[in-house]
Amino acid sequence: MQNEEKLNTTNNISAPIGLDYFSGVSLYLQLFVNSQHLGQATGFVIENNNKKYLIANWHVVSGRDTITGKPLSKTGGLPDKINIAHHSSSDFGTWWFINEPLYDGEKQLWLEHPKSTESNRIDVVVLPLTRTEEKLAFVPLNLNLAKSDMVAHPAQTVSIIGYPLGLSADDKVLIPIWKTGHIASDVELNENFFLIDATTKSGMSGSPVIMRSSGGFQTKNGSWIMAMAGMRELFLGVYSGRIHELSEIGKVWKPKLIEEILNAR
């Protein structure tokens, strides 16, 4: 497999005009060991202290089940690199697949949460990016959106923005699909995650989950606000897949975990 591959998709998109911000945030990921394709996922980039990082799930970069530790691929292969479909800075309808290594020798390059253990895995990781050259355009997720003055309640609608089964919203352009779900547990019940009820598929692990309101919402001091104009949005966390293969209940890891990983370096 080549070190990088340019995807020529469409020439009529020169800028992300009319494209939703979060449609530019979610990125398509491919996992490889040597030249063997193991699977796909979703991720997104953040910036911290002028450095760029990919946010993904532990089970994606490790290739292992979070509970059993066994390889997820039927081949038994574990990924050693991740291909990220980055936007092109010269043409937003063109993508570059950029390889990022997952290991330096035997040393893993992704950062885990300091409280993550084999028996209690926190399924969020931060991967420092080594490729940030000018030909790549980045749409980082603003972590301050996790601090919006909104309160999320059970049964409220959320959006999971990713690539189910590796599919895109367009057959020519790598744009994520917006799946709709509902909050399925009290958000503050667990300090690290909450549950959503949504018909999701493999490939959506690592998707950002957001809540939007163009009507009424509750603020953190208990007040209720009617948004007469515009839209308010809250970044709720990182989707990591269903809690059981026969259920449509999925787990979302909270944004504070990302900051805790970065602060623990």
pLDDT for the residue 31: 97
**Separation CA 208–CA 230 (nearest Å):** 21
> For the segment 60-86, what is each residue's pLDDT rounded down to a tens digit?
999 999 999 999 999 999 999 999 999
Structure tokens at 194: 């909450």
Buried b (16+ CB within 10 A) or exposed e, 209-233: bbbebeeebbeeeeeeeeeeeeebb
By three-state DSSP, how is residue 144 classified? helix
Domains recognised in the chain with CATH numbers = 4-137 (2.40.10), 143-263 (2.40.10.10)
pLDDT for the residue 65: 96
pLDDT for the residue 150: 87
By three-state DSSP, how is residue 143 classified? helix
Which residues sit opposite 23 in a β-bridge? Answer: none
List of residues 6+ apart from 174 with CB closer than 8 A: 7, 9, 28, 85, 95, 168
Q: Does 116 have pLDDT greater than 60?
A: yes
Percent of the chain with pLDDT over 90: 75
Q: What is the pTM of this model?
A: 0.90
pLDDT for the residue 8: 40
List of residues 6+ apart from 7 with CB closer than 8 A: 85, 94, 95, 96, 97, 174
> What's the whole-number mean pLDDT along residues 13-34?
81
> What's the whole-number mean pLDDT along residues 115-124?
96
Signed CA dihedral, 45, 102, 84, 88: sign only: positive
Helix (H) or strand (E) holding 234: strand 232-242
Q: Does 11 have pLDDT greater than 60?
A: no
Which residue bears the tokens 């975990």? 257
pLDDT for the residue 213: 78
The mean of the pLDDT values for the chain is: 89
Q: Does 200 have pLDDT greater than 80?
A: yes
pLDDT for the residue 9: 37
pLDDT for the residue 81: 97
> For the segment 135-172, what is each residue's pLDDT rounded down to a tens digit?
999 999 999 999 988 889 999 999 999 999 999 998 77
Q: Does 10 have pLDDT greater than 50?
A: no
